[in-house]
Amino acid sequence: MKIEKLFPLGGPVPEEDIVDRENFLNSLTTRLLGGQSITLAGPRRIGKTSLALEVLRRLKKEGCYTAFVDLFRISDRRGFALSLIDACLENRTGITKTASELIKNIKNIAGSASLALKLRDLEIDFRLLERDRDEDRLLDYALDLPDVLAGKEKKQMVVVFDEFQEASRIAGREIYKKMRAHFQMHQNVSYLFLGSKEDLMKNIFATSKQAFYRFALTLPIPPIPEDAWTEYIAGKFDSAGFGIDEDSIREIVKLTGGHPQDTMIVCSEVYHSLLETFEKKLSLETVRIGYERALHALSPLFDRIIDEINENPHSARVLKRIARRERVYSRKERPNNIKRAIDFLMAKGIIEKSGRGVYKFTEPMLQEYILRQLS
Ligand SMILES: Nc1ncnc2c1ncn2[C@@H]1O[C@H](COP(=O)(O)OP(=O)(O)O)[C@@H](O)[C@H]1O
Ligand SMILES: [Mg+2]
C-alpha cells in the first residue's frame, strides 16, 4: 500500500486543502483586482503564504499578471532586483529564471534572439543584469517593471512580497522609501505585502514617519472556524477509508484551537498512528497519541520561541501567568513593565486579547508545552 501524505504540512497548502477562508479569499481577490494594495501581517504558520498563492492562482484565471517574491530567500539588492524581474518576466516568457537566461546569452547573441525578441518592448539593458553593474539602476528598473509590463499588455498586475519586513535586511531601511516612491506612481499594479513580524510590519505601514504609511490597507487574517475544520478532517479520514468519530474530531480542534499548522500536524500524526496500529476507526485514544507526537514534533520550534521570549524577563513571567490563566498584573511589578511585556507578546503573535485585561495563547499547544515545563 502506498502511504500518501494525507495532510499537507510545512509549505503552502494546495487549493483543495485550504480549509475555509473562501470569503476572505474572495475579498482579497476582488480588492486586488480593483487596484487596492493590501497588507497581511500575522505570525508564522497561520497560512499567509497559502492564502497569497491561492489568490494569485485565482487572479491568473481572471487574466491578471502576477508575481510572487519571497524576500526571505534573498540576500542582497541585486538578488532582490533579479527576483522581481524574473517574477515579472515569467508572465511573458513562461520560464522562471528569465534574467539568468538573458545573462547566459549575452555573449551568445543567436541564443538570446528569440527571448530578447519577446522582451524587446521592455527596454531591458541586458548588461545591467550582470554582476558588478550599477545595482541602484538595476533596482530602479526592477521596481518599475511591474507597471511597465502591465501597461504594455494593458493588464492588471498583482505583485506579492512575502516576508516583506526582510527588505530592510536586504537593502537597508531606506529601501521602503524607494519602493514607495516607485509603487505610488503605478497605475496598473496592486501589491500584497505579507509579513510574519507584526511589530516590524506595523512600523513600516502604520506610523506616519515611515514610507508606507497609508499605502496599503491592513486586513486581519480571520481564524478558521471550528466547523470548517471538523468537516475537512472528517472528509479526509473518510477519503482514506477510516471510520469517523465526531467526538474525536472535535477533540482535535479543541486541543489545537484550530491553529492552521498545529491542527494539520495533529491530524497527520493521528493518521500515522492509525496506520501503524492497523485501526480502522478514529478514537479519542488515537487522538491522544497523535497529539503527544505532534507536541513532540513541535518542541524544537516551541523551544526557539521560548528562548526568544526569555530574553525579556518581564515577558517570560507574564507569559507563564497567562499559561496558568492567572491575572497578568501583579502588585510586585510596575504596571508599565507588564504593559510593555503584553505588547511585546502580542506583537510576536504569541498571545491575543480575549477580553478586557484578559489574554489567551494564539497557539494552545504552545500553552500546553509551557505548562508542562512549569510543572
Ligand atoms: N487555510 C488553511 N487550511 C489548512 N491548513 C492550513 C491553512 N493555512 C495554513 N495551513 C497549514 O499551515 C501550514 C503553514 O502555512 P503557510 O501558508 O506556509 O503559513 P505562513 O505563510 O503564515 O507561515 C501549512 O503547511 C498547513 O499545514
Ligand atoms: Mg509564509
Give, using CA atoms, the residue closest to atom 19 of ligand 1. Answer: 47
**Can you tell me which atom of ligand 1 is nearest the CA of 43?**
22
pLDDT above 90: percentage of residues in the chain = 74
Q: What is the mean pLDDT of residues 129-138?
A: 83
In 3D space, the residue among 204, 294, 231, 259 whose CA is nearest the CA of residue 46 turns out to be 259
C-alpha dist (Å) from residue 266 to 111, 141, 194, 315: 51, 46, 26, 28
Give residue 14 CA to ligand 1 midpoint distance, Å.
Answer: 10
CATH number of the structural domain 21-219: 3.40.50.300
Whole-model pTM over 0.85: yes
Q: Where are the domains of the chain?
A: 21-219, 226-374
Residues 347, 299 contacting (CB under 8 angstroms): no
User: Is pLDDT at 110 greater than 60 in this prediction?
Assistant: no
Q: Which amino acid is at 37?
A: S
DSSP string, 127-185: GGGSTTS-HHHHHHHHHHHHHHHHHHHT--EEEEEETGGGHHHHH-TTHHHHHHHHHTT
Pairing mode, strands 189-195 and 157-162? parallel
User: Is pLDDT at 175 greater than 60 in this prediction?
Assistant: yes
Q: CA-CA distance, 304 to 367, in Å (whole number)?
A: 14
Of all ligands present, the nearest one to the C-alpha of 73 is 2
- State if residue 46 touches ligand 1 by the CB under 6 angstroms criterion: yes
Give residue 348 CA to ligand 1 midpoint distance, Å.
Answer: 18
Residues 84, 145 contacting (CB under 8 angstroms): yes
Q: Which amino acid is at 184?
A: Q
Give residue 192 CA to ligand 2 midpoint distance, Å.
Answer: 13
* Residue to mutate (ligand 1; options 45, 73, 252; most atoms within 8 A of CB): 45
CB atoms within 10 A of CB 289: 18
Taking only the tens place, the pLDDT of each residue in 162-174 is 999 999 999 998 9
The pair phi, psi for residue 161, each rounded to 5°, is: -110, 115
pLDDT in the model for residue 211: 81
Residues 281, 245 contacting (CB under 8 angstroms): yes
Taking only the tens place, the pLDDT of each residue in 206-265 is 887 778 888 899 999 999 999 999 999 999 999 999 999 999 999 999 999 999 999 999
Band (355; pLDDT cuts 50, 70, 90): confident
Give, using CA atoms, the residue closest to atom 16 of ligand 1. Answer: 47
User: Is pLDDT at 311 greater than 90 in this prediction?
Assistant: yes
Q: What is the mean pLDDT of residues 312-328?
A: 94
pLDDT in the model for residue 108: 63
Query: CB within 8 A of 336, min separation 6: which ones?
Result: none
pLDDT in the model for residue 253: 98
User: Is pLDDT at 68 greater than 90 in this prediction?
Assistant: yes
* Residue to mutate (ligand 1; options 53, 263, 264; most atoms within 8 A of CB): 264
Of all ligands present, the nearest one to the C-alpha of 363 is 1
- State if residue 294 touches ligand 1 by the CB under 6 angstroms criterion: no
User: Is pLDDT at 11 greater than 70 in this prediction?
Assistant: yes
- Compare 74 and 208 and report the one with higher pLDDT: 74
Q: CA-CA distance, 338 to 171, in Å (whole number)?
A: 35
Of all ligands present, the nearest one to the C-alpha of 68 is 2
Q: Which three cell numbers stand for residue 79?
A: 538578488
Q: What is the mean pLDDT of residues 45-49?
A: 94
Band (1; pLDDT cuts 50, 70, 90): very low
